[in-house]
Chains A and B, each alone.
Chain A
């Protein structure tokens, strides 16, 4: 059985908007923010994102797992991909720049000398990444906690997707918490057989083999659930005629205002980038002064 995210009505400002308007706003935000690498613009988007996030009244305790995951991904992207290897900054940060350690350095105890090509520009880029990904995360992370599962499907239908695709989106949304539940159950069942995931060691192949007791049942259950869902839908005539959606959505003035703001934000971003050529990667003067 597919489960849903733990939703409860919080009467936050966010919940006063139609879910279609919220999706339009979220997608417009995503497309707009991904055009910029200028921290001044990114800061503007960051503030909007977190103002939106806090309007939900969701508590830290509810969303912290999501934030831990995002924190881990950000850490991997920024520390490894941007700061250590510099790969993530390619194409945005101009080559050259001001080295943080122009003379290189020496490892204490070992006395090994190293040259590290980290620049102040790359460090600033890392800050931009935090603002950008942090903002996007705040906008999208909050959706499952604040959207009534009863309107998942009809929302996508209302956004113009066909019935089948709209219902598939609903099922896909519910698949994530279902997978988490199945994983937890299988982990318990294998722990009851003396299995300890903490003791999975060895090379990559050995590790994959060692986690098979978790991966195989979870995968098989997902396949079986998929088959069950298909049968259950077939037995109740799904997809044979145009569908009536029981829940009805209606736009109100605040929804039109939000959609208007979303269009303004997206169009403004396009004009800024392509019309005025502003919003590209920029490093403030005070930051470069630090390099001296």
Chain B
């Protein structure tokens, strides 16, 4: 009799020192060749469920566990992490957190080395895993120098080389550009077709639907709300909490009132309208390295809400770091309110530009959220009453007022991300720049804070880097499309995003929302979210 690769019955787990179970009474089984998609908002228990399956719970994370987990009919109770790891391969959310080897060959070989496989067997198995994912050409490259998409595949190859029967993927698309995400998904589907049971935890539900998952599980507050096929999920899931295909949202949102969204930043003319200008900006990190930026020319004006789109490693982050003077051009110049950034300190530039870094753990340090949010305004020399006012406004914007006295580092990743955004909001700079503001955030939360930020008066311009095309569709009034250090398109979203061929050449893929907006464009004249389109007469 063929046993299911994975069978879970009444699984409940409560972390040590927590008062509520992280997951409760989870029961399901996963068959060979199936793709299972698990979705839910932040803190719903997705990652805990994965940890229970791959053995990190209870081996690394302690707590009270009940119920059973069986791999091919054999209970994992009493199995060592190494035994589990030979059956269950895990790809963590951020490949950077998983990669150990300094070179690709060594990284992919790591698990095989640990298992004591003879040396002459390791290299062929590594090459097979790399070839399976189409990255054999990276074999002798340094892992550090590879792009985000390549790192994802390298980490996956490291797991596949161990020939697991079950593959757990924890938000595998979070740091990938749209084309890389699609390639990764195709690779997961292919692995399932080859007989591996694949379990994907992902916020980007719509993307995963493109590979037709066989089973869908929806978790809410640690409980399994839905388990079944993907057709059924459209009826049970709240479209405001999980991002569903635009046409589904369009149909379901007709019954609800139309959302009200009025962006605050207003364009105006005059001497102070131009805030930032790049003039022939070239940049390379070292003189022997290739150029990262290749002659950028553009300006940012009051009223601009700019989305910067481009592939992993295209130079987007390097570009915005120039605006604040964190990097100086090797050729050309950057002017901030008419002053060259080369002649300013970063602290001076921070009065005009607020820059939210990608990872919150790189900046959070204070004992309380209030102190964290006061840090920037204090550095800029704001009076005490202004600081208090700004801090209160910022914390309201990210909807975390209840955590004001908590240490920021004790909050969840999603909350830390919002605190890092609030810390910059409190500085009330004229330009707000955000690097991947929605990465690792659930759909509900990121829409809520993007709505709040863009509707609050105070910023003359907002710039955000994103891989989420829908974020650009909904919020931007201008798009910069970047490819290999050059701006290949700069204009209104409806002008830039209509050229599908150009988008694909820049590894940006059209989404269902973009396609829907293109249909409605003759009537609307601009892009809207699906909920708004639902109330436009067809």
Give the docked Cα–Cα distance between A3 and B96 (Å): 10
Supposing A229-B100, A244-B113, A244-B117 touch, asked if A191 and B123 sit within 8 A by C-beta, the answer is: no
Cβ contacts under 8 Å, A190 to chain B: 363
- A sample of 17 inter-chain contacts (CB < 8 A) reads A1-B96, A186-B363, A188-B346, A189-B357, A192-B424, A194-B350, A194-B351, A194-B379, A216-B364, A217-B365, A233-B114, A235-B90, A237-B86, A237-B115, A237-B162, A240-B82, A246-B122
B361 on interface, CB distance cutoff 8 Å? yes
A117 on interface, CB distance cutoff 8 Å? no
B97-A232 in contact (CB<8A): yes
The closest CB in chain A to the CB of B162 belongs to A236
B384 on interface, CB distance cutoff 8 Å? no
Across the interface, B60 reaches (CB within 8 A) one of A213, A229, A234, A240, namely A234
Give the docked Cα–Cα distance between A213 and B375 (Å): 9
> Of B9-17, B102-110, B230-238, B330-338, which stretch is located at the interface?
B102-110
A193-B162 in contact (CB<8A): no
Chain A, 100-142, CB within 8 A of any chain B CB: none
A217-B116 in contact (CB<8A): no
Contact-residue size bin, chain A (C-beta under 8 Å from the other chain) = 35 or more
A1-B144 in contact (CB<8A): yes
B90-A243 in contact (CB<8A): no
Chain B, 348-387, CB within 8 A of any chain A CB: 350-351, 353-355, 357, 361-365, 375-376, 379-380
B365-A234 in contact (CB<8A): no
B119 on interface, CB distance cutoff 8 Å? yes
0 or 1 for each of A174-207: is its CB under 8 Å from B? (1 = yes): 1000000010011011111111100000000000
0 or 1 for each of B75-87: is its CB under 8 Å from A? (1 = yes): 0000011100110
Query: Which of A213, A215, A229, A230 neighbours the largest number of chain B CB atoms within 10 Å of its CB?
Result: A213
B427 on interface, CB distance cutoff 8 Å? yes
Cβ contacts under 8 Å, A188 to chain B: 321, 326, 346, 357
How distant is A79 from chain B, measured CB to nearest CB, in Å? 32
Cβ contacts under 8 Å, A94 to chain B: none
Give the docked Cα–Cα distance between A195 and B376 (Å): 7
Across the interface, B362 reaches (CB within 8 A) one of A186, A230, A244, namely A186
B98 on interface, CB distance cutoff 8 Å? yes
A193-B375 in contact (CB<8A): yes
B20 on interface, CB distance cutoff 8 Å? no
Further 20 A-B residue pairs, CB within 8 A, beyond A4-B142, A229-B100, A246-B123 = A1-B97, A188-B321, A188-B326, A191-B350, A192-B350, A193-B427, A195-B379, A216-B365, A228-B92, A233-B114, A235-B54, A235-B90, A236-B85, A237-B81, A237-B82, A237-B114, A240-B114, A241-B116, A243-B116, A246-B105
Supposing A185-B362, A189-B363 touch, asked if A238 and B345 sit within 8 A by C-beta, the answer is: no
A234-B355 in contact (CB<8A): no
Give the docked Cα–Cα distance between A215 and B75 (Å): 45
B302 on interface, CB distance cutoff 8 Å? no
0 or 1 for each of A235-267: is its CB under 8 Å from B? (1 = yes): 111111111111110000000000000000000
Supposing A1-B144, A189-B362, A236-B111 touch, asked if A194 and B116 sit within 8 A by C-beta, the answer is: no
The closest CB in chain A to the CB of B122 belongs to A246
How distant is B184 from chain A, measured CB to nearest CB, in Å? 18
Across the interface, A217 reaches (CB within 8 A) one of B100, B350, B364, B424, namely B364
Supposing A4-B144, A192-B357, A246-B123 touch, asked if A234 and B326 sit within 8 A by C-beta, the answer is: no
Contact-residue size bin, chain B (C-beta under 8 Å from the other chain) = 35 or more
Give the docked Cα–Cα distance between A232 and B90 (Å): 9
A residues contacting B by CB (< 8 A) are 1-4, 149-150, 174, 182, 185-186, 188-196, 212-217, 220-221, 224, 228-248
Query: Which of A150, A189, A232, A240 neighbours the largest number of chain B CB atoms within 10 Å of its CB?
Result: A189
Give the docked Cα–Cα distance between A150 and B104 (Å): 10
How distant is A270 from chain B, measured CB to nearest CB, in Å? 38
Cβ contacts under 8 Å, B98 to chain A: 228, 232, 235
A194-B376 in contact (CB<8A): yes
Across the interface, B346 reaches (CB within 8 A) one of A3, A186, A191, A242, namely A191
The closest CB in chain A to the CB of B376 belongs to A193
B56 on interface, CB distance cutoff 8 Å? yes
How distant is A212 from chain B, measured CB to nearest CB, in Å? 6
Cβ contacts under 8 Å, A243 to chain B: 113-114, 116
B427-A234 in contact (CB<8A): no
Give the docked Cα–Cα distance between A106 and B248 (Å): 90
A235-B100 in contact (CB<8A): no
Give the docked Cα–Cα distance between A256 and B60 (Å): 45
Cβ contacts under 8 Å, A189 to chain B: 357, 362-363
Give the docked Cα–Cα distance between A237 and B105 (Å): 18
Cβ contacts under 8 Å, A231 to chain B: 56, 60, 92, 97
B440 on interface, CB distance cutoff 8 Å? no
B473 on interface, CB distance cutoff 8 Å? no
Chain B, 9-50, CB within 8 A of any chain A CB: none
B324 on interface, CB distance cutoff 8 Å? yes
Cβ contacts under 8 Å, B85 to chain A: 234-237
Cβ contacts under 8 Å, A228 to chain B: 92, 97-98
The closest CB in chain B to the CB of A219 belongs to B365
0 or 1 for each of B139-173: is its CB under 8 Å from A? (1 = yes): 00011100000000000001100100000000000
Supposing A1-B96, A1-B144, A234-B81 touch, asked if A193 and B363 sit within 8 A by C-beta, the answer is: yes
Give the docked Cα–Cα distance between A243 and B100 (Å): 15
Supposing A185-B362, A194-B376, A232-B97 touch, asked if A150 and B81 sit within 8 A by C-beta, the answer is: no
Give the docked Cα–Cα distance between A243 and B423 (Å): 47
How distant is B444 from chain A, measured CB to nearest CB, in Å? 26
B99 on interface, CB distance cutoff 8 Å? yes
Query: Which of A186, A192, A216, A228 neighbours the largest number of chain B CB atoms within 10 Å of its CB?
Result: A192
